[in-house]
Amino acid sequence: MSWKPAPRVDVDISTLPLDALQRILLAQLDGTDDVAALAQAMRLPPERLEALLAELVAMGAVSADPFASGGPDTTGAETKAFDRDEPEADEDPVAEAANEALVAEAATHRQLFEQTLHKRPEDERAAMASLAVDPELNAFCFDPMPKVIQAILENPRAGLAQARLIAAHHRNPVGLEAVASRAPFANDAGVRRGLLQNPQLPGNVFRRLWSSRRLSEQYLVATSRDAPEQTRRLAREVLRASFLQRTAEERVELILNTEGRCLALLAGLTIDGKTTALLCRRTYVSTLLIQNIARWSAAPPQLIAHLRKQDAVRRNAQLRLMLKRHPNAS
């Protein structure tokens, strides 16, 4: 049977960091079209569509493929979704055009600020920002002073468009904290994406916004090429702390959906009996997943023994040797 992806009804997609192409794809999903039909409708190569679906599964927006052998760990799409060393497929032309338009618009607003508004004293700029309308309101979002940013947020005309500009372009932690402290803005995917890419994102803001997110979302930030190194480091810390607190089911989901790549970030951590039992109930056919578990020193003896019984291991001398040399191999 072929997989007919469907969105998860128990997840609020407005809280997910979806880009334009992911949102378009998610709107197409109703559980009636298989991957081939969706690729044709989206005019995307099947491999690109599978990678997008894998990202949506990892975020928790889409239910995993129930027909894949051994579960989500066997799909080639997930390998591409999480392999940050591979070049990404060509972007969708519609998404690229939209991004270019946003960049051009931001450049226009920045130019207006630098050439006209920046010359005024700070107090005067703050007073103007509290009453401004477009395009000046958007232009003030490029002001480096937190006092002006706070004035923008107090402007009754300010909304998500201004919050997204501030999150992406403001370079003072105080101003970023002011945006993130407002729930309607903090819950917006565009605002969160801008904050994640902002090198001045305060650590306390990141922890507040991301500590409650799913493990798969935290992992995506920890390995994202778009996030600055200090943010990726924070994400790794949050991921390790969260991994110990989450349910066994969510821990298993993370390990399988990343084909064990997450285990490199979880060195020194252990899993409980229920997580081990859930992992031992599965059939494993993914060579990469088995290799990553075999390299994980904390893999429990029961899981190592279970992997050694798998057909994929019996047919692969390298996997047999790796598991035999594992410190928890009996």
- Per-residue pLDDT of 174-217, as tens digits, reads 999 999 999 999 988 889 999 999 999 999 999 999 999 999 99
The backbone region for 259, taken as left when phi is positive above 0, alpha when psi lies in -120 to 50, beta otherwise, is left
What is the CATH topology of the domain spanning 13-70?
Arc Repressor Mutant, subunit A (1.10.10)
Residues in the chain: 330
Number of alpha carbons in the 13 Å side-chain half-sphere of residue 210:
34
The reported pLDDT for the residue numbered 180 is 95
Number of alpha carbons in the 13 Å side-chain half-sphere of residue 237:
10
SS3 10: coil
Number of H helices, E strands in the chain: 21, 0
Spatial distance between the Cα atoms of 160 and 166, rounded to a whole number of angstroms? 10
User: What's the distance, CA 33 to chain centroid?
Assistant: 25
Q: What is the 3-state secondary structure (H, E, C) of 208-221?
A: HHHCCCCHHHHHHH
Spatial distance between the Cα atoms of 80 and 101, rounded to a whole number of angstroms? 28
Mean pLDDT value across the chain = 84
Structure tokens at 137: 């309101």
Helix%, strand%, coil% for the chain, nearest 5: 60, 0, 35
Mean pLDDT over 247-276 rounds to 94
- Per-residue pLDDT of 38-58, as tens digits, reads 887 776 788 888 888 888 888
- Residue 278: enclosing H or E segment and its boundaries? helix 273-280
**Who wins on pLDDT, 239 or 17?**
239
- Residue 130: enclosing H or E segment and its boundaries? none
Spatial distance between the Cα atoms of 26 and 184, rounded to a whole number of angstroms? 22
The reported pLDDT for the residue numbered 75 is 37
127-145: buried (b, 16+ CB within 10 Å) or exposed (e) per residue?
ebbbebeeebbbbbbbbeb
Phi, psi torsion values for 7, nearest 5 degrees:
-70, 150
Which residues make beta-bridge pairs with 281? Answer: none
The backbone region for 70, taken as left when phi is positive above 0, alpha when psi lies in -120 to 50, beta otherwise, is left
Spatial distance between the Cα atoms of 164 and 98, rounded to a whole number of angstroms? 15
High-pLDDT (> 70) share of the chain, % = 85
**Which residue type occupies 147?**
K
